[in-house]
Structure 1
Amino acid sequence: MATSRNDFHSKFNNGDIPSHADFVEIFDNFVHKQDDKADFQMVETGTSNEHYITPALLRSVFQNSGIISGNCYFPYKEYRDDFTGTLIQLENPPVENSVKIFKNGQLLEENEDYALNYNTAEISFSGEITSRNIEINYWYQNMNPELGDSDSMFGKSSIPYKENFSADVFNSDTIILQNKPLRYSVKIYKNGQLLREGEDKDYAIVDGTNVITFSETISDRNIEVDYWFASSISITDQQLNSKYVDLTTDQTIAGNKTFTEVTESQSFVKTGGTSNQYLMADGSVSTSTASDYDAGHSGFDMLTTSGYQKLSNGLILQWAYLTSGSVSYSFPLAWPVGAFSVVLSTIRDSSGNKGFNHVANLSKTSYQAIIDGNYGYMFAIGR
């Protein structure tokens, strides 16, 4: 706990001689340039309130906001030209409250003109629409963004922006925006009427630029352009994208990793496996949750006379308590392949008159135990 300034002042009154502990207390209350500096892992976990963040680290946090939060939101547009019907299925599940639907450029009202199921991404109109142009603007969560995609917002910040062009001065078929807009984020209004984007519609955006070309010259009309653009904060150190494991992106992890604590999960599914399989350390899979090496076993009970244990590498151990000297027994578990070794022993407190223990008529399901006594044990190994 930090010491207040007033408490420090009282230690250095005229004539006082500060002790070693007083000086230690003073220096412990200073921020140390190296020892007290936070790192990226501290930001990710958010568990420390005793460290400071440098501007460089803060920039890295902004650069990797998508990695930390696991969210990458993208703008999108869909068109239904000359639409007739009552239902529209969107290509992506929209982010809640991000949807705007226009009918022939007229903004529709949710719940009044249409209902939207955000889980199924289905739009149902309150009444049938006949031969109208429908445009749907919305944002969606991209769960697998690609860094090479020029439209990707992975680890970036996006900024909304608006530009207005007065009817008194605007007379052109071209607009050069101040920023390069994110694809699908542009909305242009002419005297409040939404214009349609596309090569054969009202305007088009020159690929990869901030240039908008109209299908014809516009004059004496107020033009408003709403759009989003990528801020200057973007990933510059590509290692930041691969150095940290996030929860949504497909990633390849190479090298030998040493974990300081137990890594836990409800399940690990092997590629091509099923949801009820667990990945073992040797690359095999198991449906048992008993232990790291347990691929199945019988119950363990002191009164149980026989049982088996499966190992994740396919090996099987079996045992039994024998109650007769020379009879056929069934194995506790049928061998998928067969027994490699079957060992018999006799329970005696004195020498027997025969001195032998051996197995006969061995199969995948049964064996004949011949022992020198009335009681004994069987132990077998196989797969």
Structure 2
Amino acid sequence: MNTNLSTDKVLRILCVVGARPNFMKMAPIMQAFAALGPRVEAQLVHTGQHYDVAMNHQYFQALGIPDPDVNLEVGSGSHAQQTAEVMRRFEPALDDLAPSAVLVVGDVNSTIACALVAAKKGVPVIHVEAGLRSFDRAMPEEINRVLTDQLSDLLFTTEESGRANLLKEGIADERIHFVGNVMIDTLRLNLPRAVPAARIAADAGRRGFTDGGYSVLTLHRPSNVDDPAVLRRLLETAVRISERVPLIFPVHPRTRATIERFGLLPLLDRPTILLLPPMGYLEMLGLMKDARAVLTDSGGIQEETTALGTPCITLRENTERPITVDEGTNTIAGSDPATILAVLGDVLAGRGKAGRVPHFWDGRAAERIAAIVRDWLERRG
């Protein structure tokens, strides 16, 4: 530690969350800052981008996240409306709290909105999960990633490809730190508390559903759920999958709304399909842990399945997390039924990827982040 700094100076870091994927990333970071002692003060701002109060509380409680110091309660809206409203409400909070730096995670609208406000006011920006690229600018998250990284003073990457991407975009090497994956910190800590799939099925009135093995499906990306033809094709594929291995489908609220709007719910009325409401973190962890395969369009689940050694079939044409394909258990299948079923067939036949846990996905990424941030802020004075 730099002992030249006045011992009464508090390093205040304003940590921003907005959507549920942020919660799993921020939980270990807050804990790591707390472990540094009173000279480092981490304060939490929840923008309210995901505004399901009960669901948010469930995640905060399960992950041991402290109550937010500030809740902006932004709620839903178009990308422009939501981003603008986060900016409008975040600025006075930033002025009031006067932090040494603002730390953002991931790639949601709250990430870019708060980073932009902080950068314009001269407050250093720290981005956790920097450098991930799908190279698909049709994805709103890709725009958020690229712009947030350009605004950031300190960038933490989860895999080495992140550094290469950032260097190509003109980010100075000394601002980039490869620290590993904070999502995996949370996973490792909570794995012993994961809720077994059998209990989840029994609680849903389907005792014995998981006894012979099961698969899991999640869908939420607009490219998969907003187009009725694409959504129908994926759901019909899900039915065919369930005929080979029972399928558990926790349905995202937005996805359920489109399924109902397009009149597709009867497709899923099968004894081999278990529809569930959105799951809490510990429940979802239990479902993934023992699944024979997970089919998803979620970036975070690609990482979690790699850490768990569970075969993952990604229902997208690309991924911003290539390490899950290169080293992990993930296979990109897109939305073509024949490709999806072929990959599943390989998995069920024991020919799926074994994978390995990537370097620095060791449960200590947040500790590395906290130490680097503290030392960096101390050097800045």
Kindly indicate which of the two structures has a greater share of residues assigned to strand: 1
Instruction: Give the TM-score, by structure 2 length.
Output: 0.19
Higher Rg of the two aligned structures = 1
TM-score between both structures, scaled by the size of structure 1: 0.19
